[in-house]
Structure 1
Amino acid sequence: MALIEFKLPKSISRALNIPVSSPKRQQLKVLIKLLRKSRFTEFGQKYLFDEILLSKHPGKAFQQIVPTYNYSKIFHEWWHRALDGKPDVCWPGIIKFFALSSGTSESSSKYIPITKELIRANTLTSIRQLISLASYNNVPKSSVGKGWLMLGGSTHLQKSATYYAGDLSGIQAKNIPFWFQSMYKPGKKIAKNTDWSKKLDEIVEKAPEWDIAFLVGVPAWVQLCMEKVIERYNLKNIHEIWPNLAFYVHGGVALEPYKRGFNKLLGRPITYIETYLASEGFLAYQNRQDAKGMKLALNNNIFFEFVPFDYKNFDSEGNMVANPEVLMIHEVEENKNYAILISTNAGTWRYLIGDTVKFVDLEKNEIVITGRTKHFLSLVGEHLSVENMNEAIKLVSEELNISIGEFTVAGVPYGNFFAHHWFISTDDNVNSENLKIMIDERLKELNDDYEVERKHALKEIIVDVLSEQTFMNFMKAKGKVGGQHKFPRVLKGKMLEDWQKFLTGEKV
């Protein structure tokens, strides 16, 4: 049976047949294409794109002439004019869509420019990942042409005088290709609903009418959806209503903490496929069943740069210094943490996306996400990453045979020293003191700096066990329900203050 039960348009099919070349060459082609397209914009004129294009080494010239940016800097210097409807600021034409993104730590929304070129590039990367499923073993290839339940943001976008704004998933869903519309669930009517609870209820009611093969979304919300469907129809598992369910496409947070909970809801094993789709673009995807990580999309309108994530390039709060050391794809090394800078076909230039990654296979250009530049704990030099936290939680949940979904950690004062305060969600019976000891021991095994500091200034570990619903209720109180909203793994600043108020019953 054929892998794909629909025929792709010829224009897309041609676009997918890009010859393989070295990573360096692919990336330089992307950079030159971006520079040529935007050379007559205000940004391109100020930063001498014509001169860069004529230089002998355009990659190095680009790095020497164009400064690095975080969101605050690029918005206040450039993007705010595009938001006001001014054309040709950082990308040709008027920007008609902006993705609203607050990541997992910021209290106010960011406006990320979305162009028709970026939407098309995201679609092409999605198709490439879809086609890569042909290499997967022991999965029903016929499932690819069946229903895709995508639990994303609302397609009902905020309208201003010159633009529409909303979740990227909602913008993408509003612009899905015609040939995909028959497979896309929950469909345009339900997807337009801005009330997540009502949307979920409508999905549950429609569930028996759909033949779902793919689930797509953030783990916590997908798990909640499956639980409600199983409860509504008194099922033993989700495969009783969706027998062809074979794939779960996930991204944004590590899946491991959720897997045990997922497995309880399934009638048989499914294939998990990881993606790296940020508001700024589709950066990477898993293209092999047993891949160590995700393959970077090197030849599709994103130019990548990598900043070593160390104290030379970032301060103690995770802010990048003014002139960091920046590497291109051919200069990176395996098993080192890097923060990512991207330049895209939406007028995003040398932009710090906020994630940290590690190359696990240089030959295949495969990465894993290790955390966020501001989501790590190093109160006294313990250098505890989200990757360490995820691995410790995975190991402990397996040892105790419990399901841990959400968790978060905060650094807090403890007498004259410091402590890590963990908040862990599980509905299983567990002793918090035992859980604390086990997490502490696993982190000592995983992180030498942590082990050293536990003997000195990091004096205590505190663990509070909460219900999964507590985490959901906090997200609801913050207006971050459903779609692509994720609970932060590290709490700092305003989010920590709001969380502490929420737990004591105060309004946030």
Structure 2
Amino acid sequence: MPILGSLIKGVIDVTDKLSQELNPVEEQNEVLKNLLETASETDFGRHYKFQDILDQENVAKTFASKVPYFDYEKINMEWWAKLHENQTDVTWPGNPDYFALSSGTTGKTSKRIPVTEDMIDSIKKAGIKQVLALSNFDLPPNFFEKGILMLGSSTDLIEKKNHAEGEISGISASNIPSWFQGYYKPGKEIAKIDDWDRRVKRIVEEAPNWDIGALSGIPSWLELMLKEVINAHGLENIHEIWPNLQVYTSGGVAFGPYEKSFNALMGKPITIIDTYLASEGFIAFQSRPETDAMQLITDNGIYFEFVPFEPNYINPDGSLSDDAPSKTLAEVELGQDYVLIMSTVSGAWRYMIGDTIEFTDIERAEIKITGRTKFFLNTVGSQLSVNKLNDAVNFLEKEFDIQIPEYTLCAKKYKDGFYHTWYLGTNNDVSEKRLSKSLDSFLKQANKNYKVARTKALRGVKVKKTDPEVFYEWSGENKKKGGQVKMERVMGEEKFMEWEEFVTSKS
């Protein structure tokens, strides 16, 4: 009998029951006040008169009217750049202990996002909240005695004069609590290996020695790792080597496009739990099995605002217009895409991380990621967000019984007009012509704006198939393999030209 697992499960059950009374709106009001009070004597806090904001009757409304929106380029140029000149108390008291390097899905150049000790504490607390929420899932006691394989970026951080740098998953893994060390795989030694291929090779070698109960990581890279383990050990599926695998926590990217290819690697169904960890903080996690939506963490050092995702509020470069209205958690509505805005204990203020979300349950503060502001396809009025593109790919998978774990597209101009030109990562034997026809038909039925665009400047759909491996090689050459790297779903014409040349070179 798994005695330790029963004890842990019992503690989780009791603790979660004691902490279920939540009031997200009140929690958010308190978080905002704490952020403003803590940062009131920083350069940023004095510049925007945080103390005066705190003295107003409606703190949230005054904060939104006095402090402008920031994206990375703006806040880095005006404020965070001072941190690299040894200035202190810039946007948060003291100096950050870490900088999270993130190229995201937009290019080679790494952003350097400050990560303070307060943020490390926030991420740890969020992780504990997610563990406690496991009491809502029907998991047996022995699950809580198994290893958790976290496939993030390297924990071998770059040491600078007064801070360290690395991707957020590597920073988080290098700060995991001591009590978790016994569960954590691949362990400190392997996690430090910076080269993705070498790290996976060591995981493959050690795989038979581990009893894995849960996996965590970006779906695309996790799939590649699982395939390596399966192929190296001559397996039919991953459960032949890890029979107790029961949970996968996905993070920061929609799992839908990967669901079919991921499940093909399993020997039996497992529980999928979505997690939303970004370089700017631990934002949300799936707290119950009745939904695949995620609950915003509203009491943990991050204050959220929400800007309606409307074309007239978005500048051509993906930033927000100055007059774009923001909503508090008390003001949001169902059925509306919002640009997510964050103020955090790392000194990000009214910061646009580039994601769009939709509320599925306002009382519980539950959301779904719907896309990226820069990957909103509206060149010819089609108004397609990433979640709508994902829906189309999922439709093709079901319609033709195929797997399409990766894709990208561009509204490309040809001699006779614009075509949505898709590259689908699949090895299945379905003609590109049939895929084009079905894709176009689905989008017409599912999206009225697309249907209207097809009667005007948008001439149609072109589909090209390529091996899914090409997408991973593209990421490897343009950014880096593994970690938090995600494939861009929508490209501009200049970037798409580079992509097509790259695909041609691999064929």
Q: Which residue number corresponds to residue 384 of structure 2? A: 384
Gaps of 5+ in 1: none
Aligned to 2:218: 218
**1:103 maps to which residue?**
104
Partner in structure 2 of residue 48 of structure 1: 49
Shift of 1:376: 1.5
Cα deviation 1:132-184 (Å, max 9, x = unaligned):
111113x3342133111111001111222222111000001111110111111
Once the two structures are superposed, the pairs formed by residues 82-481 of structure 1 within 5 Å of their partners are: 82-137=83-138, 139-481=139-481
Change (3 A) 1:224 1:133: same
Using the TM superposition, give the Cα deviation of residue 18 of structure 1 relative to its aligned residue in structure 2, in angstroms.
Answer: 5.9
For 1:19 and 1:141, the matched residues in 2 are separated by: 21
Aligned CA distance change for structure 1 residues 167 and 396 (closer, same or farther; 3 Å): same
Kindly indicate whether the alpha-carbon contact (under 8 Å) linking 2:406 and 2:471 is maintained by their aligned counterparts in 1.
Answer: yes
In the comparison of the two structures, how many residue pairs are matched? 502
After superposition, the Cα gap between the structure-2 partners of 1:452 and 1:494, relative to the gap in structure 1 and judged at 3 Å, is closer
Change (3 A) 1:394 1:2: farther
TM-aligned CA deviation for residue 22 of structure 1:
3.1
**Residue identity opposite 1:449 in structure 2:** N
Three-state SS of the structure 2 residue aligned to 1:459 is strand
Q: What secondary structure does 1:230 align onto?
A: helix
Secondary structure in 1 matching 2:269: coil
CA deviation after TM superposition for structure 1 residue 311, in Å = 2.4
Deviation of 1:6 (Å): 7.6
* Alpha-carbon distance in structure 2 between the residues aligned to 1:462 and 1:3: 56
**How far did 1:79 drift?**
0.5
Q: Match of 1:28, as an amino acid? A: N
Deviation at 1:257, TM superposition (A): 1.6
Displacement of 1:493 in angstroms is 5.7
Cα separation, 1, equivalents of 2:360 and 2:60: 24
Structure 2 match to 1:78: 79
The 2-side partners of 1:391 and 1:418 are apart by 22
- The one-letter code matched in structure 1 to 2:399 is E
Instruction: State the distance in 1 between where 2:95 and 2:385 align.
Output: 40
Cα shift at 1:298: 0.8
By how many angstroms is 1:371 displaced? 0.3
Provide the rounded CA distance (Å) in 2 between the counterparts of 1:4 and 1:167: 32
Say if 1:292 and 1:361, in contact at 8 Å, map to a contact too. Answer: no
Supply the distance in 1 between the matched residues of 2:311 and 2:271 (Cα, whole angstroms): 39
Of 308-317 and 293-302, deviating more is: 308-317
**Cα deviations by residue, 1:449-488 (Å, 9 ceiling, x for unpaired):** 1011112210021111001111111111113211111111
8 Å contact from structure 2 (residues 153, 482) kept in 1: yes
> In 2 relative to 1, CA 342–430 (structure 1 residues): closer, same or farther, beyond 3 Å?
same
Q: What is the distance in 2 between the residues matched to 1:284 and 1:501? A: 38
Amino acid at match of 1:310: E
Evaluate the alpha carbon distance shift between residue 36 and residue 291 of structure 1 in structure 2; reply closer, same or farther with a 3 A threshold: same
Inter-CA distance 385–252: structure 2 relative to 1 (3 Å threshold): same
Q: Aligned to 1:491, what secondary structure does the other structure show?
A: coil
Residue 417 of structure 1 aligns with an amino acid whose one-letter code is: G
| Change in CA separation of 1:166 and 1:17 when aligned onto 2, cut-off 3 Å | farther
In structure 2, C-alpha distance between the alignment counterparts of 1:365 and 1:192, rounded to whole Å: 36
TM-score, length-normalised on structure 1?
0.95
- What is the alpha-carbon distance in structure 2 between the residues aligned to residue 4 and residue 325 of structure 1? 49
Counterpart residue identity of residue 282, structure 1: F
For 2:318 and 2:65, how far apart are their aligned partners in 1?
23
Cα distance change on mapping 1:298 and 1:2 into 2, 3 Å: farther
Shift in Å at residue 120 of structure 1? Answer: 1.1
Q: Is the 8 A contact 1:274 1:286 kept in 2?
A: yes
Alignment check: 8 A CA contact 2:274 2:292 kept: no
Check whether the contact 1:85–1:163 (CA below 8 A) recurs between aligned residues: no
Letter of the 2:286 partner, please give it: Q
Q: Distance in 2 between matches of 1:19 and 1:436?
A: 48
In structure 2, relative to structure 1, the CA distance for the partners of 1:15 and 1:281 (3 Å cut) is: farther
Q: Tell me by how many angstroms 1:205 deviates.
A: 0.3
State the alpha-carbon separation in 2 of the partners of residues 350 and 18 from structure 1. 29
Residues 493 and 141 (structure 1), Cα distance of their counterparts in 2 relative to 1, 3 Å cut: farther
Contact residue 409 and residue 421 of structure 1 kept, 8 A = yes
Runs (5+) with no aligned partner, structure 2? none
Check whether the contact 2:273–2:292 (CA below 8 A) recurs between aligned residues.
Answer: no
Q: CA deviation at 1:317?
A: 4.4
Quick one: distance in 2 between partners of 1:493 and 1:191? 37
- 1:46: Cα distance to partner? 1.0
Shift in Å at residue 318 of structure 1? 2.7
Q: What's the CA shift for 1:17?
A: 6.6
For 1:44-72, what per-residue CA distance to the aligned partner results, in whole angstroms no more than 9, with x for missing partners?
Answer: 11111111112111111111211111111
Residue 84 of structure 1 deviates from its aligned partner by 2.9
d(CA) in 2 for partners of 1:21, 1:262: 34
The answer to whether residue 496 in structure 2 is matched with residue 499 in structure 1 is no
Counterpart-to-counterpart distance in 2, 1:130 and 1:249 = 11
- For residues 209 and 300 of structure 1, the distance between their equivalents in structure 2, rounded to whole angstroms, comes to 37
Q: Structure 2: how far apart are the matches of 1:430 and 1:295?
A: 39
Q: Is the 8 A contact 2:439 2:461 kept in 1?
A: no
Q: Structure 1 pair 437/427, CA: closer, same or farther in 2 (3 Å)?
A: same
SS at match of 1:490: coil
Stretch of structure 1 that moved more, 98-107 or 331-340:
98-107
Q: Distance in 2 between matches of 1:19 and 1:480?
A: 40
Which range moved further: 478-487 or 207-216?
478-487
Q: Runs ≥4 in structure 1, deviation > 4 angstroms?
A: 1-8, 13-19
Tell me, yes or no, if the aligned pair for 1:6 and 1:179 is still in contact at 8 Å: no
Q: Give the counterpart letter for 2:475 in structure 1.
A: M
Q: Distance in 2 between matches of 1:17 and 1:300?
A: 18
